[in-house]
Structure 1
Amino acid sequence: MNDNDEVDLLIDAWAGQLPEIDFTPLDVMSRLRRVSHRLTGIRRAAFGTADLAIWEFDVLAALRRAGEPFEMSPAQLLTVTMVTSGTLTQRVDHLEERGLVGRRKNPEDGRSVLVQMTPLGRERVDRAMIALVESEERALEPLSRSDRAQLVELLRALGEAGGPPA
């Protein structure tokens, strides 16, 4: 561990300018932000091993988690991917062009469709998930199992207390 990292230097500089302020929140959140940026890079690289962009993985992972037959309605996909309807339509169109998903009529409602992952989509999302888990394991190597469990609990508490962004 480095006793004088970039965040420490940032906090020290601000404390010199505003000595009456407790910069503990900035200390915590700046570190989370840096970890988030690192995680984005780890995910991008892992998904790239399966020739997937992050957003492609998100849609395919939702379908994979749904279980056999790996299909969902667009409304269900909207809920789990948290994107707009127009964005989801563009993403499904793109994934369909790549042969990773297909659309079929909903047998329960002929006016709607179901989005179904293809075998190629399943192969790609599984490969990406395996690469992600391996990459994240390497990133977590400095932490013991006990440290990881404690971090999970702390992050869970922080996430539950978060509320809407300011």
Structure 2
Amino acid sequence: MASRTDRHSRTETSEPSEIAAAWAGELPGLDLAPFLVSAGILRLAQQVEHAFTALARSSGIGPGDLRVLLALRRSAPTYAMSPTALFKRLMITSGAVSKQVDRLAELGLVERVPDPEVLRGVLISLRPAGRTIAEDAMRRIATSFCGLEHLSAAEASQALDVLSNLQRTMDAAATTEQT
């Protein structure tokens, strides 16, 4: 029988393979591949989010703020969006967008302007300083981000194919669960 220390340390690990091994001991014969895949995705997402947060902080803003700037920068040719379009694109609440826009406006990175197509409508428009931050961030993401720049073109293509397959599989499962 394992000692109390061995049992305690086994349950305290954060390595997915070690956690899976512990579950395999508890529930022999259970296919733990779905667990290992989801745990791997979560670990990668945490690493990417940590790097993205550091990138945003290096520009003096938060990660949510940087996401707003990036969304506006890719909304050519006007580099402006309605608050509703922003929160839908970023999949966050309207309140979160409002707070982020307030902060970014105070920093001179965005501004609220009248929407010429909607009576009393407002657009969030990217200012030159915000455009500079967004472009710099995108260049850094594309050239030195989480080590992913070291993937060959073939490896990146293979990773994208696997991610696309995972997304389709998970979307199909979510659709099935909703019906």
Q: Same fold (TM over 0.5)?
A: yes
CA RMSD of aligned residues (A): 2.1
Q: Which SS does the other structure have where 1:115 is aligned?
A: strand
Q: Is the 8 A contact 2:81 2:125 kept in 1?
A: yes
Tell me the residue number matched to 2:79. 70
Offset at residue 126 of structure 1 (A): 1.1
Offset at residue 103 of structure 1 (A): 0.8
In the aligned structure 1, how far is the partner of 2:89 from the partner of 2:42?
23
Tell me the residue number matched to 1:17. 26
Larger radius of gyration: 2
Which of structures 1 and 2 has the larger relative contact order (alpha carbons within 8 angstroms, sep 6+)?
1
TM-score, normalised to structure 2, is 0.81
TM superposition outliers: structure 1 runs of 4+ over 6 Å: none
In the aligned structure 2, how far is the partner of 1:7 from the partner of 1:108?
52
Offset at residue 146 of structure 1 (A): 2.1
TM-score, normalised to structure 1, is 0.87
Residues 88-126 of structure 1, C-alpha deviations (whole Å, 9 max, x = no match): 112111111111100111122231111101001101111
Tell me the residue number matched to 2:8. none
In the aligned structure 2, how far is the partner of 1:112 from the partner of 1:88?
16
Offset at residue 137 of structure 1 (A): 6.4
The count of aligned residue pairs is: 161
